[in-house]
Amino acid sequence: MKYKSVVVTKIGGPEVLRVMEKDLRPPLVGEARIKILASAVCQPDITVRNGKSLYSGTPLGHKVPFTPGYAIIGIVDAVGEGVTAVAVGDRVGALTVIGGYSEYLYWRGDLLIPVPTTLDPAEAVPLILNYIVAYQVLHRSAKVKNGDKVLIIGASGGIGTAFLQLGRLANLKMYGLASPSKHHVLASYGATPIDYHTQDFVEVIRQAEPDGLDAVFDGMMSMDSIKRALPLLRRGGKLVSYGEPAGLVTLFRVLLTLIMVNLLPNGKSFKFYGTSTYFLFDQKPYLEDWAELFKLLDQGKIKPIIAQKFPIEEAAKANALLESGQVTGNVVLVAPEGS
């Protein structure tokens, strides 16, 4: 039997994504085979495809051909010898980093995330990446408190809208940078929108919050956003950058700034946040936080904004949409109903 998988055939735009057929084989020792129900379409899928990820062109980068797709939800449909953590029929998620744009996935049985069957897979799949980033930046990196005043740089995207929903639950006073066409979404979660194209966010926040902000969440990781955001923090304030830097030079400059900020006796702190690498070393906090996020979704306390769903084989169209910058929230690939 064959299954379909979307493959990056060469580095380039969405058009390089091609649907290919692969042989469905039994899982190897320690592996589970997962029938994918939903796959997230995320910014890191785009940067890895167009050769602009931090690792592109380095020995750590992915060599073409490869299947992108950072996060999935599916059903275990076969397990290899030695797999005890999951069984056939279990609903699971995986932080794949690559491999998610596919009808089937082979994955280590001990690295799967339990997912309640009550949840719609398309609604739950943004929790695997975009929401865990926002949740952990809020509650593990910045450790926000009731009433904290925060700025979200990149508030209308997949992670930004997760911040808005989780920030509202944590009772934060939120300011968010976004294009004007998306301001109504920020306002609907109680955030004050700022148009970063025409307004100087530094001026707006200085006037609104003369005592400074408790935290800034930065999805750009550019020297510009960081240099402008740091003076907005009050003493004891925290800047957390979770964006993907434009290249190694930017990363190096931002890293030097981080070291300096943390050494200076000004009471401010600056942290980086990155998901996937840490997950491999210590799964416990991730499993706890995903369980909490699934509970919040089940209780209707959060509801990912799904801008559009596409069949898995239309991943190129889904990538083009996310890359267009028109999306508010998340783009998701789904398996056909009843397949």
- In DSSP terms, 79 is beta-bridged to 32
CA 280 from chain center: how many Å?
16
Residues written for the chain: 339
Element (H, E) at 332: strand 330-334
Q: Angle at the Cα of 183 (from 178 to 135), degrees rounded to 5?
A: 65
In the complex with ligand NAP, which residue's Cβ is closer, 242 or 294? 242
Interface contacts to ligand NAP, rule CB under 6 A: 42-44, 129-130, 133, 153-154, 156-160, 177-179, 182, 196, 219-220, 242-244, 273-275, 322, 325
Q: How far is the CB of 328 from ligand NAP (least distance, A)?
A: 8
Residues 103/4, Cβ–Cβ less than 8 Å: yes
Of 78 and 305, which CB lies nearer to ligand NAP in the complex structure?
305
Residue 41 structure tokens? 């379409």
CB closest to ligand NAP, residue no: 157
Q: Which is nearer to ligand NAP, 67 or 330 (CB)?
A: 330
Tell me whether residue 175 or residue 196 sits nearer to ligand NAP (CB atom). Answer: 196
Q: How far is the CB of 126 from ligand NAP (least distance, A)?
A: 9
| Minimum distance from residue 264 beta carbon to ligand NAP (Å) | 24
Q: Burial of 6 by CB count in 10 Å (0-12 exposed, 13-18 middle, 19+ buried)?
A: buried
- For the bound state, the minimum distance from the C-beta of residue 62 to ligand NAP, rounded and expressed in Å, comes to 15
User: Based on CB atoms, which residue is closest to ligand NAP, 59 or 325?
Assistant: 325
Residue 276: CA atoms inside 13 Å, Cβ hemisphere, count? 12
Least distance to ligand NAP, CB of residue 4, Å: 25
Nearest to 86 by CA among 107, 55, 59: 107
Residue (21 or 203) nearer to ligand NAP, CB: 203
Task: Write down the least CB distance from residue 142 to ligand NAP, Å.
Answer: 14
Q: Quick one: tokens of 12?
A: 């380039």
